[in-house]
């Protein structure tokens, strides 16, 4: 048995895809016989120390985190400082064999400190926004300032791991001399399962989006696309948005201006137990994002047997096979998005075929057990990897 320290400033109920990836990987590492301690942010009365029924231990450290769905640069810096204070104590008492840092910043420095103090190797798990060149609002200046530190941390790690080919290419452009491995995200296909009544009807079709409600996700384009559909079709469609973020008020106003307010439901964040039912209640998953690492929500939708309409970006391209498991279109292409929605709304057989093939693809190729095994093998082959 090996002992793994996983560091992520976001861990459920905080955060999005990277938080869920950390959670699932931690659980599967324990199932493989390893011990796991997660170092993450404190928040809103959550216990500072927790040992879950599945065996994962969680230590939440003081931060300034105010929102569940997102963190400011200042809040991330506070986590960085707090983790640097905490990890010497954790390393001395818990004695990990390897560390996995989710995001080069703000989690990489504390992983490096564990290595400096105890000789413990660390992996950097890239998630998207921590890679210089990733196009997301407000990150350009951050990347210019933090780029030298990010590169320094990557080069001292035992390995840099991207979760998609597109993200790996972006990382290689930043550090051409450094090998970047790929370990994709996984999905729990026993939790996310198709609805036996799925597929939609002529009377109505339920569209679903899950994720942070920010400009990056392209929801403004989705609303514009819906507004261009003929009234006879538009009135058959409804859109549920699961998630929250700073763009929500603006999108509400946009929906009113476009005459879509009665067709759109903003549900906010759903708990872990409620999310699978949200997928099963839908007929079609729409993900018009402008940039991603590898979106867990697309995997979850495919596991739930939903046909996917997604933009041709890193991550989504690794998951969705155009014409086989979903339909792909270019970023910000309102007309193509409207056409894809119209095509699927009018063809129940196509929806069933794409959804079925998507389910088959994720069951065969993507699992959290495979992800956890790959991380464990990589980490333990790179350093001391002591067996206990």
Q: pLDDT tens for residues 138-153? A: 566 666 778 899 999 9
pLDDT at 136 (0 to 100): 60
Question: Where are the extended beta strands (E) located within 276-380?
Answer: 284-287, 308-311, 326-329
Dihedral sign computed on CA atoms, order 82, 153, 298, 34 = negative
CATH architecture of 205-365: 3-Layer(aba) Sandwich (3.40)
Nearest to 265 by CA among 282, 289, 280: 282
pLDDT at res. 142: 67
Same fold, 3-186+367-380 and 205-365: yes
Q: What is the maximal distance between C-alpha atoms in the chain?
A: 66
Q: What is the DSSP secondary structure assignment for residue 217, as one 8-state letter?
A: G
CA distance 184 to 365: 10
pLDDT of 362:
92
pLDDT for 387 equals 38
Q: Which of 137, 124, 107 is nearest to 167 (CA)?
A: 124
Domain boundaries, the chain: 3-186+367-380, 205-365
* One-character DSSP codes across 126-146: --STTSTT---TTHHHHHHHH
Q: Is the dihedral of CA 24, 27, 31, 32 positive or negative?
A: positive
Per-residue model confidence (pLDDT) at position 202: 56
What is the DSSP-derived secondary structure letter of residue 201? Answer: B
Query: How many whole angstroms separate alpha carbon 117 and alpha carbon 104?
Result: 19
Residuewise pLDDT in 10s, the chain (388 residues)? 899 999 999 999 998 889 989 999 999 999 999 999 999 999 988 999 999 999 999 999 999 998 887 888 899 999 999 999 999 999 999 999 999 999 999 999 999 999 999 999 999 999 888 888 876 655 666 667 788 999 999 999 999 999 888 889 999 999 999 999 999 989 998 999 998 875 555 568 999 999 999 999 999 999 999 999 999 999 999 999 999 999 999 999 999 999 999 999 999 989 888 999 999 999 999 999 998 877 889 999 999 999 999 999 878 888 999 999 999 999 999 999 999 999 999 999 999 999 999 999 998 889 899 999 999 999 998 764 433 3
Residue 388 has a pLDDT of 34
Pairing of strands 159-162, 98-102: unpaired
Report domain 3-186+367-380's class. Answer: alpha beta
What per-residue confidence (pLDDT) applies to 96? 97
Give me the pLDDT at residue 198, please. 57
- pLDDT given at position 153: 96
Please calculate the CA angle 47-49-51 and round it to the nearest 5 degrees: 105
Res 134: pLDDT? 76
> Tokens 């928040």 identify what position?
43
Which strands form 326-329's sheet, in the order they lie side by side? 264-268, 237-242, 205-210, 284-287, 308-311, 326-329
Six-digit token string for 268: 């906010």
- Chain position carrying tokens 């006879």: 232
- pLDDT attached to residue 165: 87
The contacts found for 351-357 with CB under 8 angstroms, 24 or more apart, are 351/199, 351/200, 351/283, 351/284, 351/307, 352/199, 354/307, 354/308, 354/324, 354/325, 354/326, 354/327, 355/194, 355/198, 355/199, 355/302, 355/305, 355/306, 355/307, 356/305, 357/321, 357/324, 357/325
pTM over 0.85, yes/no: no
Residue 385 is predicted with a pLDDT of: 41
Q: Could you tell me the two tokens for 177?
A: 């001399």
């Amino acid at each position: 048995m090996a002992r793994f320290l996983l560091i992520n400033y976001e861990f459920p109920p905080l955060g999005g895809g990277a938080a869920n990836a950390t959670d699932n990987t931690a659980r599967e590492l324990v199932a493989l016989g390893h011990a796991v301690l997660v170092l993450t942010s404190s928040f809103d009365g959550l216990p500072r120390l927790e040992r879950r029924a599945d065996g994962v231990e969680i230590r939440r450290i003081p931060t300034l985190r105010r929102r569940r769905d997102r963190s400011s640069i200042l809040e991330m810096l506070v986590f960085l400082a707090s983790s640097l204070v905490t990890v010497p104590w954790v390393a001395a008492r818990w004695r990990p064999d390897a560390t996995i840092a989710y995001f080069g910043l703000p989690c990489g420095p504390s992983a490096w400190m564990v290595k400096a103090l105890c000789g413990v190797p660390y992996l950097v798990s890239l998630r998207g926004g921590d890679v210089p060149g990733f196009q997301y609002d407000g990150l350009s200046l951050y990347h210019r300032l933090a780029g030298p530190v990010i590169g320094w941390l990557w080069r001292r790690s035992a390995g840099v791991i991207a979760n998609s080919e597109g993200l790996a290419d972006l990382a290689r452009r930043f550090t051409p001399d450094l090998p970047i491995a790929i370990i994709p995200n996984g999905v729990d296909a026993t939790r996310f399962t198709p609805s036996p009544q799925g597929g939609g009807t002529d009377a109505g079709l339920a569209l679903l989006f899950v994720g942070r409600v920010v400009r990056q996700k392209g929801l403004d384009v989705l609303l514009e696309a819906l507004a261009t559909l003929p009234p006879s079709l538009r009135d058959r469609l409804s859109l549920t948005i699961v998630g929250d973020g700073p763009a929500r008020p603006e999108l509400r106003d946009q929906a009113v201006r476009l005459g879509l307010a009665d067709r759109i439901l903003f549900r906010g964040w759903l708990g872990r137990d409620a999310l699978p039912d949200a997928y099963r209640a839908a007929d079609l998953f729409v993900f018009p994002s402008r940039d991603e690492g590898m979106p867990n929500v697309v995997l979850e939708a495919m596991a739930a047997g939903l046909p996917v309409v997604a933009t041709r970006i890193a991550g989504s391209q690794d998951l969705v096979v155009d014409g086989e498991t979903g339909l792909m279109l270019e970023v910000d292409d309102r007309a193509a998005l409207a056409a894809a929605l119209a095509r699927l709304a009018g063809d129940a057989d196509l929806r069933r075929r794409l959804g079925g093939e998507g389910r088959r693809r994720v069951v065969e190729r993507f699992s959290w057990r495979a992800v956890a095994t790959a991380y464990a093998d990589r980490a333990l082959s790179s350093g001391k990897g002591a067996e206990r």
